[in-house]
Amino acid sequence: MSSSIARRLPQAKIEIEDQFDRTAAGYLNSLPTGAVVMDFGSGKECRYARYRSPEADVTIVGVDISEPELAENHDVDEKRLADGTTGLPFQAAEVDLVTSRFVLEHLVNTETFIADCARVLKPGGYSIHLFASKFALSSMLNDVLPSRASESLLDFFHPECSGVVGFEAHYDRTYPAGIASLLERHGLEVLDVRVNYYQSHYYAFFVPLFLVSAVYELILQALHLQNLAAKAMIVARKPAQATG
């Protein structure tokens, strides 16, 4: 019943993950010859690499803290092990495009990471991030529950996610205005902000709860309360005249 209702919900039709992949690929394909792309938290795959144009002469560097996961990544051209909060493995102004997909919410200090992204970006380079919002109901529930309890609930109601999600989340300023503010503080210009309010699928096992959540999302969407969205994507650019 929840699935049948979801097909009629406008918020459920917004595929922000696909928007991120296509947006990242669009910027990648427009980069000059020899450009460098950093996919931070790349893990086992770089999903937007499938949209890379055959004519695009760029190097995608997958960066992750997990060596076993990177070893399985066949989408990137190079692999580098690094913890994004202790420094990125690039020289200043070496990278043309920085991307991350559902990584920011897991960082203890997002400002340290954003500051280093600004450092490694070339003037005129782009930064694109997709993240779970701190003030989404699902995020707040995950934040207050003990990690073992939240993992058990997820495994029980959504067994398809078992082993796929479950990394500790900190939600350090991971809401649209928070990340936008950090990007601007470190010299980047915010070009685009997109959000997705849909999170009711987490409650599909209990129709009354699913309906309450769906109505809540419709209200948020109607009022354009972006900071309360479930997920957000931000595109930013380092001004061409910037240095360092």
Cα–Cα distance between 30 and 26 in angstroms, integer? 6
Distance separating alpha carbons of residues 173 and 180, to the nearest angstrom: 10
How far from 107 is each of 41, 54, 59, 174, CA to CA, in Å?
11, 34, 25, 10
> What is the C-alpha separation between 49 and 70, in angstroms, rounded?
15
- Cα(49)–Cα(136) distance, integer angstroms: 29
Q: What pLDDT digit, counting tens, does each position of 15-65 carry? A: 999 999 999 999 999 999 999 999 999 999 999 999 999 999 999 999 999
| Structure token digits, residue 97 | 């495009």
Pairing of strands 95-101, 231-237: unpaired
What is the rounded average pLDDT for all residues in the chain?
Answer: 88
What is the radius of gyration, based on Cα positions, of the chain? 18
User: Around Cβ 56, how many Cβ atoms within 10 Å?
Assistant: 16
- Structural domains of the chain ordered from first start: 2-237 (3.40.50.150)
pLDDT band per the 50, 70, 90 thresholds, residue 144 = low
pLDDT, tens only, 57-92: 999 999 999 999 999 999 999 999 998 778 899 999
How many distinct helices (H) and strands (E) make up the chain?
Answer: 8, 7
Mean pLDDT over residues 148-166, rounded? Answer: 44
pTM: 0.88
Spatial CA neighbour of 125 closest among 92, 101, 170: 92
Beta strands in the chain (DSSP E): 35-40, 58-64, 78-81, 95-101, 121-132, 189-196, 231-237
- Are 144 and 69 within 8 A, CB to CB? no
